[in-house]
Chain A
Amino acid sequence: GQNIDQPTEMTATEGAIVQINCTYQTSGFNGLFWYQQHAGEAPTFLSYNVLDGLEEKGRFSSFLSRSKGYSYLLLKELQMKDSASYLCAVRGSGGYQKVTFGIGTKLQVIP
């Protein structure tokens, strides 16, 4: 099975940088996703890591260490609209490669 841990809530200041951590224990691994979800809406794709290292995409970066079962999402130059839940999700290596989600980290950006 999959076990995914991430902080439930974080607060950061507009313009700052925030790092959201995610640790996982899985029976099989075939990639890690980060999604953003605003209240009442479906998740939107942010990033995908399958190899170790840092993937940068604009203000958002995602890091993966497979040996440590660890990932983080880095948000730079925070904007008020970044207030949302950020979901860490792991794809298994079984036949359907199911994606299992963590509980999500609710980020509040304050002025």
Chain B
Amino acid sequence: GAVVSQHPSRVICKSGTSVKIECRSLDFQATTMFWYRQFPKQSLMLMATSNEGSKATYEQGVEKDKFLINHASLTLSTLTVTSAHPEDSSFYICSARDFVGQETQYFGPGTRLLVL
């Protein structure tokens, strides 16, 4: 199946710093990428949807100025958590969908963020 990678897999940072997470589709062109966040013992919550070359669409309650999303190419999307705080500590997972086979969404392995 299609492969989606994320980098880094784990990051620890100090409060107030910014963290960038990359999501890449390795063997297909991802017209749409989704960013999810998952807190312990909870389900995946959609944060935002991005299409290549256009602005991301954020879900209600997600601050677009805090979670910057860039989808500059058909194989790369980035999520930047700006001025991170301990409450932003979570498991961030990206997901990508190609155009030809829109049936399935493929998930990256996730990035575990810990803000001290």
Contact = CB atoms under 8 A, between A and B. Distances in A.
Interface residues of B, number: 25
**Best-surrounded residue of B43, B51, B105 (most CB of chain A within 10 A):** B43
Contacts of A93: none
A26 to B, nearest CB: 14
Interface in A19-60: 31, 33, 35, 40-45, 48, 50
A11 interface: no
Contact of A103 (B36, B42, B91): B42
Nearest to A104: B43
Given A87-B43, A96-B57, A42 B34 contact: no
Contacts of B42: 103
Main secondary structure of the interface of B (DSSP, over half): strand
A45 B110 contact: no
A70 interface: no
A99 interface: yes
SS class, residues of chain A in contact with chain B: loop
B46 A48 contact: no
A48 B104 contact: yes
Nearest to A50: B103
Contact of A101 (B43, B49, B108, B110): B43
Given A48-B103, A102-B43, 18 more contacts: A33-B104, A42-B93, A42-B108, A43-B44, A50-B103, A87-B43, A87-B44, A96-B49, A96-B57, A98-B34, A98-B49, A99-B46, A99-B95, A99-B105, A100-B46, A101-B43, A103-B42, A104-B43
Interface of B: 1, 32, 34, 36, 42-46, 49, 51, 57, 91, 93, 95, 102-110, 112
